[in-house]
Structure 1
Amino acid sequence: MNKFAAIFSAVATLAITVALNNKLGPLPAMGKLLNPFYGVWQNTETPNNFKDNDIQLKGLSGKVNVLYDERLVPHIQAENENDLYFMQGFITAKNRLWQMEISTHAAAGRVSEIVGEKGLENDRIMRRIGMSFGAENAQNFILKDEKSKQLITAYCNGVNAYIQSLKKSQLPIEYKLLDYKPEAWTPIKVALLLKNMANMLSVYEYDVQNTAFIEQFGKEEYSKLYPDFIQDEDPIISNETTEKKYQNQGLFSSENNTQQAQKVQAFSTEKTIQKNIQQAQFNKQNTETEYESAMASNNWAVGGSKTASGKPILCNDPHLKLSLPSIWYEMHLSAPGINVYGATIPGAPAVIIGFNDSIAWGVTNGGRDVRDWYKTEFKDASRKEYKLDNEWKPTTFRIEKFKIHGKPDFTDTIVFTHFGPIVYDRNFKDAPIRENLAMKWTAHLPSNEFKTFYLMNQGKNYDDYRAALQFYTCPSQNFVFASAAGDIAITQQGKFPIRERATEQGKFILSSETKNDWVEYIPNEKNPTEKNPQRGFVSSANQHPTLADYEYYYPGVGVYENYRNRVINNLLRNMQNISAEDMMKMQDNNYFLLAQEALPVLVNLLDETQLSTEEKEVLSTLKKWNFYVNPQELAPVYFEIWWNELRILLFDEMRDPKTALKQPTFYTVVQMLKHDSTSVFYDIVATPQKETRADIVMKSFKVIAESLRKKEFVEVHEPYGRDEIHKIESTENLDWGKYKATKVAHLANLDAFSRLNVYNGGNLGVINATNSSHGPSWRMVVDFGERKAHVVYPGGESGNPASKFYDNMVDTWAKGEYYTAAFFNEKPKKLFEENYHP
């Protein structure tokens, strides 16, 4: 009944939204929505939704059994591979059709067909960065492979069989709210979904921002704030240097509250340390190259030498924007030659992250720079010729037509050079520094990522894992691996251009010369990889894949993590007799290494004699903090406000949207405050006086109490300084979980279809990297000793907001709890089953 009420609440909310803000375009007549025969009434669940059925389905060649377990996870058993993928498409569409379509419309730049003119700007961006262009290249390449063509076609046929079976009354509620109908599913849509992942996960390059920074502040300041590698590097691929450095390091999180408080207190009063900081020279090498991005992930595998069972355990939790329906759809696929379980992407065949009887695998984002920008000079206003190597060469034009709901069609002309599309030009403006830059991106290359996952799904051993990876191009991913046979491994896979180290190729805007083009790519066998390392585990958390001695140069500015990786490796180095329960607890670990390293530096620079009674209470809470961002803690709230305001004051010079500069990483900020007493960035632009390091720290600290009084807090959004005011109703009983107020938002951002104020811990830079909108989108622990897998994600299997299976796993996920997957020796607890036949 609550879900049913939510539907009508959503209808009312949407109607008001349209009337007042005109955000989602015109609604259908309310009579249509409330029609008892085909309106929203028909989207409610009844017992008939969950009864056994025997169904004849055109398109099948044999029998298929679909058993839904108690969480509505489908276990599909087919007699042949074609029918398996056909039924995967059919069942996915049955539960996630609107999500599939809105995702591909967004990737293709077609949202304005649904919502009208207000969607046109984003649609133009998608077309101009070449999403459709890249998807077309991928589709053509995929369909040349007979097996890929056969299975993707089968999947699309299954989706279309479901669409054709739909009655008007059975359309997902979003179609009724937005007044449109689903269209046929085709291979280009599958390609678009794969390219959409590339767009989400392979755009971490700052060529334009780096160039603008040097023009404004000079190369010396740039070298201080944006080096490629740091002193505290703990890369993905283990090596003798890092292992010797860290092997005797105790647990970061082993001290109790009192000991941690004493540490901070001692730091704040130790005059010798203060004197050393004032006299120290800023260490150019001791700066960070991570990115404080919500698009982060963890994976690791521990070998039998470190587990209680003597067999490997593999763990993965990709961190993405949290949404309802979830980005993932949990499935079990079985047919002769394949028996696989895990997370699928609605709209694309195969399991993306998962396991079978013999192997398990998971992914994190590689973060490698695979996009370059080239300054382009046109011969004249016609833009039919551009200069390449001081010679005029012909451009090509790609004409894009946009259908706009309620408006005439719009046509856009995109100019292509030898390197790629001109994204911003006289017809589509952005910051002047971005105008007439041609973009080259590996996502435009022909590729067949589907084949990687198809082969991985059937893999039996390490050799099969390595063979599957050779087909994977973009976005770069760190593929972790474990096998029942006892092997563990990790590989950073993607197609990476060979760059020139001497000129730092790819770090700045390039001239339009063929010497700057990508001529060759790093061979697959040279991509960073390791198998069964001596330390007994492999791991990644979006950090550098290697140290600086890797034989190929790659830009690492503002991209790589340096907190989660150190905590993960610190824990795994110190753990023995590891169980799956240990690993589940570790995925939910809330230790905040940034706070441990930053807070003593900040407190040391704070003149406590200038603090009011209220401010001293705030400081006292921070000094007693054990650096865990658990939901019931207050100290993380204070630290978050202080840290955000500190960065606003420090880098006010960078916040001009015309240049869109990338702020230095958090690690760099800590090292800067610790070692550099004279940085030009300590001066606040808006004031007549010249501030010092201590002034910045004091001014930002005083904002904490002020924010509490106003009940308003500033959230900083990178990299353009697009700050957002975060308001709370009350500071009474305020804690981190209430302040953070995690939102699992509906894809159309309808609050009635979202989960608001999810109470949990975590933060960016923490293993449990959950903030207000992003977090672990899928948690998985596969134990080959116990032969059990534990999984959870913040959503539900159904895409229907009126279903009890729409968000039923959110609370379990928020509490750090798991479900045991119905695989290996665990049999599914039947909710109902459907038997399909030709």
Structure 2
Amino acid sequence: MKFVKAILSILVTAFLIWALETKFGDIPAIGVFLNPSTGFWQNAESKNILPTENLKLTDLQDEVTIRYDENRIPHIFAKNDHDLYYAQGYVTARDRLWQMDIQTRSAAGRLAEVVGAKALEIDRYHRRMGMVYGAENGLKGIMKDPKTKIMVTAYTEGVNSYIHGLAPKDYPLEFKLLDYAPEEWKPINCIFLLKLMSETLAGGSDQFAMTNNLRLFGPAAVNELFPDYPFNESPIIPVGTKWDFKPLPIPKPSADYVARMTENIKPREKVDGIGSNNWAITGSKSATGYPILANDPHLNLTFPAIWYQIQLSSPTVNVNGVSLPGAPCVIIGYNQKISWGVTNVDADVLDWYQVKFKDKSKNEYWYNNKWNTVKKRIEVIKILGAQPETDTVLYTHHGPVVYETAVKKPKDDFENIPVGDALRWIAHDESNEFLCFYNLNRGKNYTDYREALTHFTAPAQNFIFASNDNDIAITPNGKFPLKFKEQGKYIMDGSDPANDWHGWIPAEQNPTVKNPSRGFVSSANQSSTDPTYPYYINWRFEQYYRGKRINDRLSAMQKATVDSMRIMQSDNYSILAQDVLSTMLKYIDPTKLSEDQVKALTIIKKWDKHYVANSIGASIFDSWWYNFYNLVWGDKFKVKGTYLKYPSYDETEKLLLTDPGSKWFDNTKTPLKETCGDMLSHSFYTAVDELVQKHGKPGEKWQWGQVKETFINHMANLPGFGTGKFIAGGKGGVINALRNNNGPSWRMVVQMGPTVKGYGVFPGGESGNPGSFFYQNMFNTWKDGKLNELLFLNSADETSGRIKSTLKLEKK
């Protein structure tokens, strides 16, 4: 019996050892993960960091000094540019290696290699969208210029120097959880970061939905509900700006386009863009007599943060701001002469073309009255725990046919991608955006700013500028295709050369304004210009609400300070509510309301139109407008099996204020003929009833900060590594455009002057390690709407009480 027990004990022990060393599905090998020598324990970091550290590294040309401040932000001082970008790569990898790796894998369509078949469709999508193809072309452009070639090569060497020095126990926590090792960094990985940003900011399309709208409703209705210029607008370039250039001839619309917009087309069966704000005021509006610039790009909020703060100094540059982990240079920031920031333009630089193949082999397609050869690109997708999958992507001269058959397209994903159409996308073209930032980082004046922008292709950005010369400017900038009006609003006939892009708008003719008489420049993703601009950039932009509020506040502002700008970045006032609330209230009959509805009506009548966290009125209005909007359009534009685009808030507001008798207010699903008043009454009842059902009687639980969900997750959605839900104000249509997990990813204010001072914060911290104090140490500062003063050192030897440690790199 004792012998049997001993055998059983040995077997159980052996099983436990095997189980602890074995990975089951997504669960890491527990024994390996918990190993005190190599497991997650090794990722714990103290708040107290070493005061000095010295490292000898290969590929360095000279000594580099890196000073770390109290927020663990590196200030790099190198004796040449090679070592500067080498050090940037090294310290960024030290803090954000897993983030760099996983973002690169996502863009390159290589997630399935580390997480298995569940990522296969997103990998296949990125391969089929031509992300790798575009990155390969981008790398060609960057490597042609000696400055950017040195920069990207040195950055890559620095990243690899850090990777080569890692033992498994030193791997970032996520590598241990997912049970894979970091791989060598390649120059193309830096380009993948740009392509990922292009996908985020310029990778969406309404063309499939708009084409379905045209087929279902016809051109007259579509032109009425989806106009080329909105009812309300406060454009980026001030109305009345004169264009001091002779425009190129505008291409003539294709015969196919003319026919579609004039014939009766028989019926047949995008989420709002990413928002950001920036503005700059002249010295005449500033308390110091020098310009002030502010920027807060709105992106998806994650831990680790999208941005990485850094100062870069060499004999050719001294610049401070934020970079993208995985890419060299400062992307948004300032030096001691100029400052700059960006918001998204939302230019139409992605178009779809119908393809006619000769036969089922799909080896040839019809274009320009002849058959042309289809190019085939073989994509091999490796899958963890399974055999690799080989995918063949067809390319016409326009670009990839993302899904040539419905069978290839996932059933419930990528709704805005049409089947059988080729993609023409600016992100596929050869370009060198890094040269733009290389030059901006070293810029001294307006001329340097304008020259730098000529190198920027995509995603198109509103580049705002301020200088110590007391100049301010803004330029909606990128490489814009030369098109006929509305070209790309709908899917186009890919066989007709008249539908091709017809060249490019000259960079010097991109819309721009310098030192306007009103004393400020600004953007919030609204229309770039008024209708007098001779070229077509797009038919739709973000709606005017944020831009209008910014312009109203800046128009009235005098003797502004950094704090004026900081407070304005957290402004929660709703222009939409200002426009429509008084009209909406006129249609509500208090005698027909329930007790809860009467209370809600009393509250909203007193609401100050601010989306602050403790506002109950904000919750009522938001729910009311949402229900009204969907009640008006849902019966017409929610068609099962057909992807359609709803009319905008702007168009809905126009009908409410100017045409309450419009036929569009009738619900086509009922035998009655509903009016605007019916829609407003029913939507008010529904809004209040929903709030009662979800949050109880009107009271504290109706406060906006509790009703809306605000959170920041870990990039891999690892439980416990994000913030969880937190109370905050803000809304997509107000300056403080914080909604769910999307919002101000970096807030910055720069005061120009004899000594330029910057202030900024992002939600999170410099470290990507959840076990570090510096993983989210700046989150509360960001959440409270405050800014950190950014430390700008003029030399490696400059003393500052904020410096907490020094890292010296020497060549081995």
TM-score by length of 2: 0.89
Shift of 1:759: 2.1
Please state if 1:61 is matched with 2:61: yes
Partner-residue secondary structure (3-state), 1:434: coil
Cα separation, 2, equivalents of 1:197 and 1:191:
10
Match of 1:356 in 2: 335
Aligned mate of 1:607, from 589, 601, 618: 589
Match of 2:807 in 1: 834
Deviates more, 1:372-381 or 1:387-396: 387-396
Cα separation, 2, equivalents of 1:547 and 1:708:
40
CA contact (8 A) 2:337 2:756 kept: no
Please state if 1:377 is matched with 2:356: yes
Shift of 1:129: 1.1
Partner-residue secondary structure (3-state), 1:764: coil
Shift of 1:499: 0.9
Listed as ranges, the matches of 1:55-204 within 5 Å are 55-204=55-204
Cα separation, 2, equivalents of 1:320 and 1:660:
25
Change over 3 Å in CA distance of 1:179–1:685 after alignment to 2: farther
Cα separation, 1, equivalents of 2:479 and 2:559:
38
Shift of 1:505: 1.6
Cα separation, 2, equivalents of 1:693 and 1:231:
18
Change over 3 Å in CA distance of 1:62–1:230 after alignment to 2: same
Please state if 1:508 is matched with 2:477: no
Cα separation, 1, equivalents of 2:610 and 2:416:
43
Match of 2:771 in 1: 802
Shift of 1:656: 3.3
Match of 1:484 in 2: 468
Match of 1:309 in 2: 288
Structure 1, unpaired ranges of 5+: 1-23, 243-290, 713-727
Aligned mate of 1:429, from 398, 409, 418: 409
Q: Could you report, residue by residue, the CA deviation over 1:243-275 in whole angstroms, capped at 9, with x for unpaired residues? A: xxxxxxxxxxxxxxxxxxxxxxxxxxxxxxxxx
Shift of 1:292: 7.2
Change over 3 Å in CA distance of 1:87–1:657 after alignment to 2: farther
Match of 2:578 in 1: 596
Q: Could you report, residue by residue, the CA deviation over 1:606-638 in whole angstroms, capped at 9, with x for unpaired residues? A: 233221111010111111001011111111111
Aligned amino acid, residue 181 of structure 2 = K
Cα separation, 1, equivalents of 2:408 and 2:133:
18
Change over 3 Å in CA distance of 1:514–1:429 after alignment to 2: same
Please state if 1:617 is matched with 2:599: yes
Please state if 1:775 is matched with 2:720: no
Match of 2:16 in 1: none
Partner-residue secondary structure (3-state), 1:621: helix
Aligned amino acid, residue 735 of structure 1 = Q
Cα separation, 2, equivalents of 1:354 and 1:34:
42
Match of 1:9 in 2: none
Cα separation, 1, equivalents of 2:548 and 2:117:
47
CA contact (8 A) 1:25 1:116 kept: no
Q: Could you report, residue by residue, the CA deviation over 1:473-523 in whole angstroms, capped at 9, with x for unpaired residues? A: 01100100111121111111111111113xx32211111211111121000
Please state if 1:694 is matched with 2:674: no
Match of 1:266 in 2: none
CA contact (8 A) 1:327 1:345 kept: yes
Cα separation, 2, equivalents of 1:443 and 1:602:
44
Shift of 1:205: 3.5
Partner-residue secondary structure (3-state), 1:837: strand
Match of 2:760 in 1: 791
Partner-residue secondary structure (3-state), 1:392: strand
Q: Could you report, residue by residue, the CA deviation over 1:181-235 in whole angstroms, capped at 9, with x for unpaired residues? A: 1111111111111111111111354222111111111222212211111343211
Shift of 1:685: 5.2
Listed as ranges, the matches of 1:341-352 within 5 Å are 341-352=320-331
Aligned mate of 2:345, from 355, 366, 371: 366
Change over 3 Å in CA distance of 1:401–1:679 after alignment to 2: farther
Aligned mate of 1:816, from 761, 785, 791: 785
Cα separation, 1, equivalents of 2:714 and 2:652:
35
Cα separation, 1, equivalents of 2:378 and 2:544:
43
Shift of 1:768: 0.8
Q: Could you report, residue by residue, the CA deviation over 1:307-352 in whole angstroms, capped at 9, with x for unpaired residues? A: 1111111111000111110000000111111100001000000000
Match of 2:371 in 1: 392
Cα separation, 1, equivalents of 2:801 and 2:79:
19
Partner-residue secondary structure (3-state), 1:223: helix
Aligned amino acid, residue 186 of structure 1 = K
Q: Could you report, residue by residue, the CA deviation over 1:624-656 in whole angstroms, capped at 9, with x for unpaired residues? A: 001011111111111222222222222222223
Q: Could you report, residue by residue, the CA deviation over 1:557-583 in whole angstroms, capped at 9, with x for unpaired residues? A: 3x3331111111111111111111111
Shift of 1:46: 3.3
Please state if 1:645 is matched with 2:614: no
Deviates more, 1:564-573 or 1:784-793: 784-793
Identity among equivalent pairs (%): 44
CA contact (8 A) 1:204 1:369 kept: no
Residue-pair matches, total: 750
Partner-residue secondary structure (3-state), 2:758: strand
Deviates more, 1:678-687 or 1:359-368: 678-687
Aligned mate of 2:729, from 757, 761, 764: 761
Match of 2:424 in 1: 440
Cα separation, 1, equivalents of 2:698 and 2:130:
46
Cα separation, 2, equivalents of 1:467 and 1:307:
27
Q: Could you report, residue by residue, the CA deviation over 1:710-746 in whole angstroms, capped at 9, with x for unpaired residues? A: 217xxxxxxxxxxxxxxx9997544111222311111
Structure 2, unpaired ranges of 5+: 1-23, 243-269
Aligned mate of 2:703, from 735, 739, 749: 735
Match of 1:554 in 2: 537
Cα separation, 2, equivalents of 1:390 and 1:27:
57
Match of 2:389 in 1: 410
Shift of 1:73: 0.5
Match of 2:439 in 1: 455
Aligned amino acid, residue 295 of structure 2 = N
Match of 2:252 in 1: none
Partner-residue secondary structure (3-state), 2:773: coil
Partner-residue secondary structure (3-state), 1:752: coil
Deviates more, 1:777-786 or 1:445-454: 777-786
Q: Could you report, residue by residue, the CA deviation over 1:9-41 in whole angstroms, capped at 9, with x for unpaired residues? A: xxxxxxxxxxxxxxx952221111111111111
RMSD across aligned C-alpha pairs, in angstroms? Answer: 2.1
